[in-house]
Structure 1
Amino acid sequence: MKTTLFSFQFSNLLGTVYRRGNLNFTCDGNSVISPVGNRVTVFDLKNNKSNTLPLTTRYNVKCVGLSPDGRLAIIVDEGGNALLVSLVCRSVLHRFHFKGSVHSVSFSPDGRKFVITKGNIAQMYHAPGRKREFNAFVLDKTYFGPYDETTHIDWTDDSRCFAVGSKDMSTWVFGAERWDNLIYYALGGHKDAIVACFFESNSLDLYTLSQDGALCVWQCDTPPEGLRLKAPTGWKADLLQREKEEEEEEERETTIRGKATPASEEQQGKVKYSRLAKYFFNKEGDFNNLTAAAYHKKIHLLVTGFASGIFHLHELPEFNLIHSLSISDQRIESVAINSSGDWIALGCSGLGQLLVWEWQSESYVLKQQGHFNSMVSLAYSPDGQYIVTGGDDGKVKVWNTLSGFCFITFTEHSSGVTGVTFTATGYVIVTSSMDGTVRAFDLHRYRNFRTFTSPRPTQFSCVAVDSSGEIVCAGAQDSFEIFIWSMQTGRLLEVLSGHEGPISGLCFNPMKSILASASWDKTVRLWDMVDSWRTTETLALTSDALAVTYRPDGAELAVATLNAQITFWDPENAVQTGSIEGRHDLKTGRKELDKITAKHSAKGKAFTTLCYSADGQSVLAGGMSKFVCIYHVREQILRKKFEISCNLSLDAMEEFLNRRKMTEFGNLALIDQDAGEENGVAIPLPGVRKGDMSSRHFKPEIRVTSLRFSPTGRCWAATTTEGLLIYSLDTQMLFDPFELDTSVTPGRIRAALRQRDFTRAILMAVRLNEKKLLQETLESVPWDEIDVISSSLPELYVEKVLEFLASSFEVSRHLEFYLIWTQKLLMAHGQKLKSRAGKLLPAVQFLQKSIQRHLDDVSKLCDWNRYNIQYALAVSKQRGMKRPSEPLGSEEEADASDDEDSLHLLGGGHGDGDDGDTLLV
């Protein structure tokens, strides 16, 4: 752990699925790209996984443009900063600043150009990657025309023209080239701001949609092939004329000033548009504004989202209503359709909700929603497969660490959740809440099976469960008492009194039945759960205690106090063994409305959450700051500091305020400048009801509310203002050799394999610690020799091989082969490894997590196949009993063949990563 503690890298972002911005489907239609704050998450709907790209923008992401081949993406934030990102290698290729707020970005269908809308102009750039150049973003043209902000872009299929909608109720059609009969064309006909505009397939016909729910259908009198290039003038014309005279002397008399355009084409008129029809969505006359729209050109499907949470599906150009559904009562911010037209993605920023709807079968492909308010607490399951989070919205969510999705939400609490924890079995979640209840949830049946309450109403601030899972404790914030219940009966066993301030933290000793309670009365009390609930020790602190945690072996106690110190105690002897001063490491920022500097405000900040690493050598600390610190316990020094966010859209991020915001009339942050935007209040005329007068723009403050290390020791999680951040060890990018010398090379390892000296090859591969090479070495061993080779490995190398096997289970398909390796190693070295159980615990738990996941998948597949076989046998017996004497005719043969086909499809269609024709029973 000493060498790998510095190698934790950002791995994933859970708990936040959509904030604001536009949604995009990848070109294959199987993944959704969603902006989450200043990051971007890719939801793989086919493999049921979510992955956040390891890159950040300076502010919240405003819009994302995806190239037609799906390889590149342009991500633009609210400040106009753009990132050119490769989605293949997941890295930033170029950074650019557009010098203004960008509303939308769109690539041309041929991938050669892209257009951005900024203010009341549209700018066309050459798409990067077509040729080697120093600047990836080269401006081609700037288009003027609209008088107000531009809102939407759409291209024709042949990339010859594009349309731009504007808030001035007009839509402009521009030519991407210098066309002779189309320079620009302005379309009116609306009485509100344009939300979206779409070209028809292989045509210049146009659909425009405005905010008041009006749709105009425009017909163009010229096909796309009728656009003529404008003849060049000046020196270009002279150069072309000279070349043409040399090549074709016979056309010299028909050429006039370099124009080779026939006279018949010269007399043709300009491109003209005419309005065919106008339709209205809001026929009832309500104030339901249209907020987002998407159009699929091949199947002529129009999807529109409204401020009331309703979305419509229409078929154009006849405007036939297919579906009208509601997802919530909040505004739909973005709509997208995948390439096949089957799936529709809907983003709702008010709830932080992302839906993918399959409209033909009327079913959800994806339905995810984060916590409405901030997350407060988290806990890992004992095997590290799941994370449970509690939020101020009263919801308890359980997340799968492998897929990144929430698979169950408990809504029984009526107020904010203050603490969550797993029992030792991993199948029960216990939560405490400000509503005066402590609840236990069953992960087998997904129900609340126990509710613990106090004799008089109280607010619970923390919760803890002992290692047996029988005793449940919760600390009160107002009565300063600790309540103890029995999990089996639900009865209140005891009320512990003694603290003189609110209880801030509870923690059970992992090895003994002793409870540690931290309070604002500057003490930590140790309670013996076996010997009459009495206080065994009282630890006196110098300041209010904010958090308390035991080391995994129970031999040490860490306490965070209000004076920004972390003190370490020997709980057996009640002796302080060390302390860490963390005020300088917090480095809090200055809020926009703070009267004092960040240096002075940091004096009142402290660590509010603590967590030991899996091996107990380090402690993780976080609080009202953007930094998470890892300290070495024995040396009492800072090992590494993680910056969890660089998003300037959050408050308290910078140490110094921008002096340009300080005017003679006061701070500009006090003025709600976003009142006129789409999310704010807009009052065009007195007496007109439009918008919510109570809505205000605010910047949430960056902070870390809870930290937990995974039991496997491979990752740690933090609940922050941004969401649930996961940091893990990226072993693929890390070269970490083990007892390496010059005699260990890949060539010598392969030479040993050719000589069938497998033990020496494995030892050298472990010392080199190259994952691909170790995989090649282990898989070269014949399965019948694994037993002998496992017994010959030294004890120190067994731990390394077990760690490799645990990581390989997650990606490899050689399940049985690696299971044989695991079994033989544990059988041969199990007794010897017991003496080093503390250090080996993270590796064994990592191994258990990987095997348990495969067990769950295979058991579901087996149950499904067993059910199908029983069903097929029952159907065949029933038919045999009905007609035993009748010969099997053509009708019966057809029925039998249908049964066989259905059995084959049902049996082979559920293999998660296995062969489709394998039937497991």
Structure 2
Amino acid sequence: MKFAYKFNNLLGTVYKKGNLLFSQDGNSVISPVGNRISIFDLKNDKVTTLPVESRFNYTALDLSPNGCSLIAINEEGEAHWISLISQTIVHKYRFKRKVRAVKFSPDGKHFAVCKENNVFVFKAPGLLSGDYNAFVMERVFHGAYDETTCLDWSSDSRILAVGSKDMAVKLYPLEKWHNFRIYSLGNHTDSIVGCFFEENTYDITTISRNGQACVWECSIDPDKLVPLDKAPPRKKKKGNDESEEDDIDVSKALELTEAELASAVEEKDDSEVQNDKFFYKRLARHYLADEARKDDREAVLTSAAYHRKSKILVTGFSNGAFFIHELPDVSLIHSLSISEEKISAICLNSTGDWIALGCGGVGQLLVWEWQSEIYRLKQQSHSNNMSCVCYSVDGQLLATGGEDGKVKLWNVYTGFCFVTFSEHSSAVTCVSFSGSRKFVVSASLDGTVRAYDLIRYRNFRTFASPRPVQFASVAVDSSGEFVAAGGQDVFEIFLWSVKTGRLLEILAGHEGPVASLAFSPCVTSTCLVSVSWDKTLRVWDAIEKGSAHETIELVADGLCVAFKPNGLEVAVATLDGQISIFNVKNAVQVSSIEGRNDLGSGRADTDLITAKTTLQAK
């Protein structure tokens, strides 16, 4: 038999860390999920995960203006150029240091990367730049005194604004201009979180970590920049006996007094300087953190996003609150608190109607439509490790349990979590669906086994033992009438009735934690099998014969057991990497699978030999 499995989707988590992106049409959100990238289609309510992966978690993403290419950089500085058409990695590049931000220019010819206190500008391969070599470096800027944190391009892709931890924003020209060199904007008292150009102008807004927002006005328009090779010659100083007909009209000068003539010459000189010289004037300074610090005095601004066309500014804080302001007056439009964890990333779609918010601490991803004040998407991952997973009988649903005490149900087709049960007060160790898919049961270390209704989405049964037991395994019979759970600290199996919730039987005999349980899939059979760390497989018929059972010795600690669909054989996985198959009726071993050679061993930092040699020695 030949298997051809390929990666399909990633479930269980929706966001880890890094920045969020919207697609060009504004209907999809691109989210970094660990070392993979998921795309949430908000129009069709479906999630797809790209079949590419990195060795480390992705932290910096950006999408090309044509929407065909995606550049993703992981936390170790390895950049991947991903084609969204073929969904493959086209090019790779190693920055060898942590990269904090990456952004394409609006014309699509370049992209800039922030690394340490430097900014690297590369040519983007494609028709726009005319260069198909990947990662061709064009410019490097070294103006910052500390680590660079954010960047933004002007609308004409001529000027690059870069914010850093040195509390200043540097403006770098991509080309050489006669009336513009490197310019620095200060007046902040904390590290820069965001800098945003206005549409079709060089006016800029800078935001720092302590919530200060400075609005700057540029002295010249984009069409007033003069290339260095086309700069006009410098005017020579005129002597006392030289005429000034080029500056002042002689006929009008005769009609003016001496004071009026002097003021006219001075105004003309000031206007020429004003039109030629490139400088910024600070119009206002606003304190955005005052609203967020009403409830939390330690709140700091952690992320920001700006929509140029609608002039909407969205800022997120460390206490889970975000605010929507309208520039340039910075008037508050709306505020909302989504969690108690910090907001790690904010992004707006092309129309400015949807706001994507990511909280890395709890793995939360939200898309909020701020005008109608409704959630377009609301997904949250397990806040801790996922401990168990189970498919429904028809394969359409997936149940997961985590160490955070939550049970989540996922739709396999769409990839979305549609319900979360949080009744458990400790880690969930095992989940199991009923044969009719009407309910799902979960076992937990809090000493309870809970049954959840899949129609009304509520906890309709709670099963408990006479004394506190940490349950490690659970199973439901094919008819859905009985639930069995095995203990981790008490080596017994408890059997309950689903209809009445009463404890029917306590099956004793194991001398170690009960690792796994399984009921026979046959409707006419009530057979139950269990494996334990005491190196035994036990076959029970508790409904008819009570505690009577048959014991089968294993070569190592039992970890998992599963029935064959016909109910005649069981497969047992043991700690030594073997899978043994037994006949249930006569307790004879039918076959075995040696899996030890397929389990590759790792190599520790202190090992002097390779993992392959270590495996051969074992």
The TM-score, its normalising length taken from structure 2, stands at 0.89
Report the residue type matching 2:504 in the other structure: L
2:480 paired with 1:481: no
Q: Which residue of 2 aligns with 1:112?
A: 109
Q: Deviations over 1:534-562 (max 9, x none)?
A: 43421111221111111122222111222
Moved more, 541-550 or 312-321: 541-550
Q: Which residue of 2 aligns with 1:13?
A: 10
Instruction: Give the deviation of 1:161 after TM superposition.
Output: 1.1
Instruction: Give the deviation of 1:134 after TM superposition.
Output: 5.7
Q: Deviations over 1:447-497 (max 9, x none)?
A: 000111001111100000111100110001111110000011111101011
2:566 paired with 1:568: no
Q: Matches of 1:32 and 1:373 in 2, distance apart?
A: 24
More strand by share: 2
Q: Matches of 1:604 and 1:157 in 2, distance apart?
A: 63
2:273 paired with 1:276: no
Q: Matches of 1:480 and 1:597 in 2, distance apart?
A: 40
Q: Matches of 2:301 and 2:330 in 1, distance apart?
A: 16
1:596–1:311 CA distance, 2 compared to 1 (3 A): farther
Counterpart of 1:537 in 2: which secondary structure? strand
* Equivalent runs, 1:756-795 vs 2, <5 Å: none
2:534 paired with 1:537: no
Q: Matches of 2:313 and 2:111 in 1, distance apart?
A: 24
1:133–1:342 CA distance, 2 compared to 1 (3 A): closer
Q: Matches of 1:573 and 1:536 in 2, distance apart?
A: 13
Q: Which residue of 2 aligns with 1:156?
A: 154
* Alignment counterpart, residue 477 of structure 2, candidates 466, 480, 483: 466
Counterpart of 2:62 in 1: which secondary structure? strand
Moved more, 215-224 or 526-535: 526-535
Report the residue type matching 2:534 in the other structure: D
1:61–1:274 CA distance, 2 compared to 1 (3 A): same
2:35 paired with 1:38: yes
Q: Is the 8 A contact 1:484 1:492 kept in 2?
A: yes
Number of matched pairs: 572
Q: Which residue of 2 aligns with 1:757?
A: none
More helix by share: 1
Q: Deviations over 1:102-129 (max 9, x none)?
A: 2111111111111111111111111111
Moved more, 284-293 or 436-445: 284-293
2:90 paired with 1:93: yes
Instruction: Give the deviation of 1:593 after TM superposition.
Output: 8.0
Tell me, which stretches of 5 or more residues in structure 1 are unaligned?
Answer: 234-263, 606-921
1:109–1:133 CA distance, 2 compared to 1 (3 A): closer
Q: Deviations over 1:707-752 (max 9, x none)?
A: xxxxxxxxxxxxxxxxxxxxxxxxxxxxxxxxxxxxxxxxxxxxxx
Q: Is the 8 A contact 1:486 1:492 kept in 2?
A: yes
Instruction: Give the deviation of 1:267 after TM superposition.
Output: 10
2:71 paired with 1:74: yes
Q: Matches of 1:434 and 1:594 in 2, distance apart?
A: 36
Q: Which residue of 1 aligns with 2:447?
A: 436
Q: Is the 8 A contact 2:508 2:547 kept in 1?
A: no
Q: Is the 8 A contact 1:126 1:139 kept in 2?
A: yes
* Alignment counterpart, residue 338 of structure 2, candidates 327, 330, 337: 327
* Equivalent runs, 1:750-899 vs 2, <5 Å: none
* Equivalent runs, 1:509-588 vs 2, <5 Å: 509-511=520-522, 512-588=525-601
Q: Which residue of 2 aligns with 1:56?
A: 53
1:334–1:566 CA distance, 2 compared to 1 (3 A): same
Instruction: Give the deviation of 1:360 after TM superposition.
Output: 1.0
Instruction: Give the deviation of 1:148 after TM superposition.
Output: 0.7
Q: Matches of 2:474 and 2:55 in 1, distance apart?
A: 37
Instruction: Give the deviation of 1:265 after TM superposition.
Output: 8.2
Q: Is the 8 A contact 2:219 2:277 kept in 1?
A: no
Moved more, 54-63 or 555-564: 555-564
Instruction: Give the deviation of 1:205 after TM superposition.
Output: 0.7
* Equivalent runs, 1:172-251 vs 2, <5 Å: 172-231=170-229
Counterpart of 2:103 in 1: which secondary structure? strand
1:596–1:468 CA distance, 2 compared to 1 (3 A): farther
Tell me, which stretches of 5 or more residues in structure 2 are unaligned?
Answer: 232-270
Q: Matches of 2:14 and 2:617 in 1, distance apart?
A: 33
Instruction: Give the deviation of 1:99 after TM superposition.
Output: 3.6
Q: Is the 8 A contact 1:181 1:271 kept in 2?
A: yes
Instruction: Give the deviation of 1:66 after TM superposition.
Output: 0.6
Instruction: Give the deviation of 1:282 after TM superposition.
Output: 2.5
Q: Is the 8 A contact 1:174 1:182 kept in 2?
A: no
1:403–1:274 CA distance, 2 compared to 1 (3 A): same
1:447–1:594 CA distance, 2 compared to 1 (3 A): farther
Report the residue type matching 1:327 in the other structure: I
* Equivalent runs, 1:626-637 vs 2, <5 Å: none
* Equivalent runs, 1:619-768 vs 2, <5 Å: none
Instruction: Give the deviation of 1:185 after TM superposition.
Output: 0.4
1:217–1:17 CA distance, 2 compared to 1 (3 A): same
Instruction: Give the deviation of 1:287 after TM superposition.
Output: 2.0
Q: Is the 8 A contact 2:542 2:548 kept in 1?
A: no
1:600–1:428 CA distance, 2 compared to 1 (3 A): farther
Instruction: Give the deviation of 1:178 after TM superposition.
Output: 1.5
Instruction: Give the deviation of 1:179 after TM superposition.
Output: 1.5
2:289 paired with 1:292: no
Q: Matches of 2:557 and 2:74 in 1, distance apart?
A: 41
Q: Matches of 1:541 and 1:214 in 2, distance apart?
A: 67
1:311–1:591 CA distance, 2 compared to 1 (3 A): farther
Q: Matches of 1:602 and 1:469 in 2, distance apart?
A: 44
Counterpart of 1:371 in 2: which secondary structure? coil
Q: Is the 8 A contact 1:172 1:186 kept in 2?
A: yes
1:88–1:316 CA distance, 2 compared to 1 (3 A): same
Q: Is the 8 A contact 2:124 2:131 kept in 1?
A: no
Q: Matches of 2:35 and 2:532 in 1, distance apart?
A: 37
2:513 paired with 1:499: no
Q: Matches of 1:378 and 1:321 in 2, distance apart?
A: 45
The TM-score, its normalising length taken from structure 1, stands at 0.60
Cα RMSD over matched residues? 2.2
Report the residue type matching 1:57 in the other structure: S
Q: Is the 8 A contact 2:220 2:275 kept in 1?
A: no
Counterpart of 1:347 in 2: which secondary structure? strand
1:40–1:147 CA distance, 2 compared to 1 (3 A): same
Q: Which residue of 2 aligns with 1:375?
A: 386
Q: Which residue of 2 aligns with 1:414?
A: 425
Q: Deviations over 1:137-166 (max 9, x none)?
A: 211111121011111111111212120001
Report the residue type matching 1:552 in the other structure: P
Report the residue type matching 1:315 in the other structure: E
Q: Matches of 2:539 and 2:617 in 1, distance apart?
A: 28
Instruction: Give the deviation of 1:362 after TM superposition.
Output: 1.1
Instruction: Give the deviation of 1:27 after TM superposition.
Output: 1.0
Report the residue type matching 2:142 in the other structure: F
Instruction: Give the deviation of 1:79 after TM superposition.
Output: 1.7
Q: Deviations over 1:830-876 (max 9, x none)?
A: xxxxxxxxxxxxxxxxxxxxxxxxxxxxxxxxxxxxxxxxxxxxxxx
Report the residue type matching 2:531 in the other structure: A
Counterpart of 1:231 in 2: which secondary structure? helix
Q: Is the 8 A contact 2:116 2:146 kept in 1?
A: yes
Percent of residue pairs identical: 53
Q: Which residue of 2 aligns with 1:255?
A: none
Instruction: Give the deviation of 1:132 after TM superposition.
Output: 6.5
Q: Deviations over 1:78-100 (max 9, x none)?
A: 12211111112212222222343
Q: Is the 8 A contact 1:583 1:603 kept in 2?
A: no
